């Protein structure tokens, strides 16, 4: 393997203009690009639509040799390669859709040094012939797109992604890696860095806050009526309605159509022509609303989507956030409305029953986080950003929970008890155990640790487990407690929590939603 030499004083901005036609870098793009060019491992965590692709495309152009881009979706690869070719860049794909002759031509071009970016599906990368040929090539660096696929703790785990590091080592490529993702909780971030052995990487994490998006959760109640009313209220503006099943997609698209909304369905069960046609109709504004399964949206760049509706409760906050992120790309307001019911959560849990155990447990956890999000009356933005590891101090004022606050209560004494429970159980347990101890429930697990003899045991007995759940979750959002990312499910003290225990102060928490009650009140 020949190692690529560094470029001399590449004028990045000129290149940006010349090839892509853009006048400015966005956010941290330039620093990231510089870092890759200097040959450092780089880890980029940036929301969808922020411009991740450029972070490896531009370095690939200025560095000698070919950049390998690993990407999980063949359709997306094709899009990017077409786009790059249109810009006059020699980018090619290597995946299972190529004929032998086509594959041979790609290999020749790469070895001759003509190709600047080679997009490879992870399953192609593991093939012997791919390995052989890559050993003969000059590789500038390896970019790993959708890097969260590496982690079992994420929402889109792909086992073959975990083999990438080994393959890079086998090829004997001593080249820098740039890993990119739009969704990663702190735990997933850690997992990615460990798996890729890039603890040394420079991490570029942009804020995930999308200030122009309004978040709203409503209970699933007369949902069809509510949907029609909402969509009609948007007066022909573009929107996406996500449903869980193909059948539901068809049904809802039809429902909207008979209500004079220009709506079309999109799901993987439609034939490719219809799918393409419906997608184009949406992009060209011949239809206003696309009703879709989550198959829709990846790689679609429509700036003026004004609303995203989740007709069914999504499977994870990661998915939810990515899907809502398709609204308001142009910076104007976007409304994100989710219909929530615990029945959906139960239904989704049943879908998981045939999965391997770890995957099933993890899916369950992601679902639980989703339910917690829906039930909580804490500022939605605060919750979402906290989920992705960001601290957002104030309430946002631009979500349903901020606009219509639930009853608040003085939480000083509850916080004190919750923190004491964590402390007295030596920061080694999860939320379930802690709420059991606080409420003084009998349980063999608690007894086997002797936790029924702790001072804090049963001190919170006048409230139920869901109440304490909510308190502990709010303690985490308020940074009194934190998840132990090394030890799954364990809740630890945070600095702010230690300080609070030394000198407790008044703090207000919100009562969780009780959607049944809210629906009843509305009906009266």
Tell whether residue 28 is a contact of ligand ADP (CB under 6 A).
Answer: no
Tell me how long the chain is.
524
Q: How far apart are CA 313 and CA 243, in angstroms?
A: 8
Tell whether residue 392 is a contact of ligand ADP (CB under 6 A).
Answer: no
Tell whether residue 475 is a contact of Zn ion (CB under 5 A).
Answer: no
Cβ closest to ligand ADP, residue 209 vs residue 423: 209
Tell whether residue 402 is a contact of Zn ion (CB under 5 A).
Answer: yes
Backbone φ and ψ of 214, nearest 5°: -100, 125
Tell whether residue 476 is a contact of Zn ion (CB under 5 A).
Answer: no
If contact means CB under 5 to 8 A according to the sort of partner, which of Zn ion, ligand ADP, none does residue 22 touch?
ligand ADP
Q: How far apart are CA 55 and CA 147, in angstroms?
A: 14
For the segment 96-135, give every residue that binds ligand ADP (CB under 6 A). none
The DSSP annotation for 345-398 comes to HHHHHHHGGGS-HHHHHHHHHHHHHHHHHHH--S-HHHHHHHHTT----S--SS
Region near ligand ADP per CB under 6 A, out of 52-60, 156-164, 428-436, 495-503: 52-60
If contact means CB under 5 to 8 A according to the sort of partner, which of ligand ADP, Zn ion, none does residue 399 touch?
Zn ion
In the three-class reduction of DSSP (H, G, I as helix; E, B as strand; rest coil), residue 264 is classed as: strand
For the segment 279-318, give every residue that binds ligand ADP (CB under 6 A). 301
Q: How far apart are CA 474 and CA 478, in angstroms?
A: 6
Tell whether residue 59 is a contact of ligand ADP (CB under 6 A).
Answer: no
Least separation in angstroms between residue 48's CB and ligand ADP is 4
The DSSP bridge partners found for residue 334 are 213
Q: How far apart are CA 253 and CA 263, in angstroms?
A: 6
Tell whether residue 399 is a contact of Zn ion (CB under 5 A).
Answer: yes
Longest dimension (CA), the chain: 75
Tell whether residue 471 is a contact of Zn ion (CB under 5 A).
Answer: no
- Please pick, from the candidates 50, 173, 240, 493, the single residue that binds ligand ADP as defined by CB under 6 A: 50
Whether the CB-CB separation of 32 and 41 falls below 8 Å is answered with: no
Tell whether residue 64 is a contact of ligand ADP (CB under 6 A).
Answer: no
Cβ closest to ligand ADP, residue 285 vs residue 301: 301
Cβ closest to ligand ADP, residue 384 vs residue 476: 384
**Total binding residues for ligand ADP by CB under 6 A?**
14
Contacts of 465 (CB under 8 A, 6+ apart): 435, 436, 439, 441
Region near ligand ADP per CB under 6 A, out of 17-25, 148-156, 185-193, 453-461: 17-25
Contacts of 397 (CB under 8 A, 6+ apart): 403
Region near ligand ADP per CB under 6 A, out of 41-49, 160-168, 196-204, 305-313: 41-49
- Please pick, from the candidates 4, 33, 46, 238, the single residue that binds ligand ADP as defined by CB under 6 A: 46
Tell whether residue 25 is a contact of ligand ADP (CB under 6 A).
Answer: yes
Least separation in angstroms between residue 168's CB and ligand ADP is 22
| Strands 481-483, 491-493: pairing kind | antiparallel
Q: How far apart are CA 461 and CA 440, in angstroms?
A: 6
- CB atoms near residue 403 (< 10 Å): 11
Q: Which residues bind ligand ADP (CB under 6 A)?
A: 22, 24-26, 29, 46, 48-54, 301
């Amino acid at each position: 393997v020949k190692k690529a030499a560094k470029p001399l004083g590449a004028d990045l901005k000129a290149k940006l203009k010349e090839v892509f036609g853009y006048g400015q870098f966005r956010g941290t793009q330039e620093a990231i690009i510089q870092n890759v060019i200097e040959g450092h491992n780089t880890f980029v965590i940036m929301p969808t639509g922020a411009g991740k692709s450029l972070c490896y495309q531009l370095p690939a152009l200025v560095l000698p040799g070919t950049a390998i881009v690993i990407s999980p979706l063949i359709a997306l690869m094709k899009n990017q390669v077409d786009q790059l070719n249109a810009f006059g860049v020699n980018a090619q794909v290597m995946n299972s859709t190529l004929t032998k002759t086509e594959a041979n031509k790609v290999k020749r071009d790469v070895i001759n040094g003509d190709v600047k970016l080679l997009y490879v599906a992870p399953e192609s990368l593991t093939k012997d012939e791919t390995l052989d040929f890559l050993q003969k090539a000059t590789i500038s660096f390896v970019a790993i797109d959708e890097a969260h696929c590496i982690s079992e703790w994420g929402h889109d785990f792909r086992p073959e992604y975990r083999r990438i590091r080994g393959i890079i080592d086998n090829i004997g490529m001593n080249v820098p890696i740039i890993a990119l993702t739009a969704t990663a909780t702190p735990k997933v971030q850690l997992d990615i860095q460990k798996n890729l052995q890039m603890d040394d990487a420079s991490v570029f994490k942009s804020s995930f806050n999308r200030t122009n998006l309004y978040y709203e959760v409503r209970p699933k109640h007369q949902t069809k009526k509510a949907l029609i009313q909402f969509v009609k209220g948007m007066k022909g503006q573009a929107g996406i309605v996500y449903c869980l099943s193909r059948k539901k997609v068809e049904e809802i698209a039809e429902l909207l159509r008979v209500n004079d909304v220009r709506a079309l369905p999109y799901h993987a069960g439609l034939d490719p022509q219809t799918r393409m046609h419906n997608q184009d109709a949406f992009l060209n504004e011949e239809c206003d609303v696309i009703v879709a399964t989550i198959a829709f949206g990846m790689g679609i760049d429509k700036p003026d989507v004004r609303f995203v509706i989740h007709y069914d409760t999504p499977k994870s906050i990661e998915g939810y956030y990515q899907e809502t992120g398709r609204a308001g790309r142009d910076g104007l307001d976007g409304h994100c409305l989710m219909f929530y019911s615990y029945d959906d959560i139960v239904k989704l849990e049943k879908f998981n029953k045939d999965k391997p155990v770890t995957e099933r447990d993890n899916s369950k956890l992601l679902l639980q986080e989703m339910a917690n999000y829906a039930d909580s009356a804490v500022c939605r933005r605060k919750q979402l950003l906290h989920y992705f590891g960001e601290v957002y101090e104030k309430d946002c004022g631009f979500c349903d929970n901020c606009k219509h606050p639930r009853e608040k209560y003085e939480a000083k004494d509850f916080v004190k008890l919750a923190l004491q429970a964590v402390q007295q159980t030596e920061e080694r347990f999860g939320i379930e155990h802690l709420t059991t101890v606080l409420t003084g429930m009998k349980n063999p697990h608690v007894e086997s640790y002797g936790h029924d003899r702790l001072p804090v045991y049963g001190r919170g007995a006048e409230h139920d487990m869901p109440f304490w759940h909510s308190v502990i979750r709010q303690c985490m959002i308020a940074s009194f407690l934190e998840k132990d990312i090394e030890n799954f499910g364990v809740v630890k003290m945070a600095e702010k929590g230690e300080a609070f225990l030394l000198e407790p102060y008044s703090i207000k928490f919100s009562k969780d939603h009780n959607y049944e009650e809210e629906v009843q009140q509305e009906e009266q």
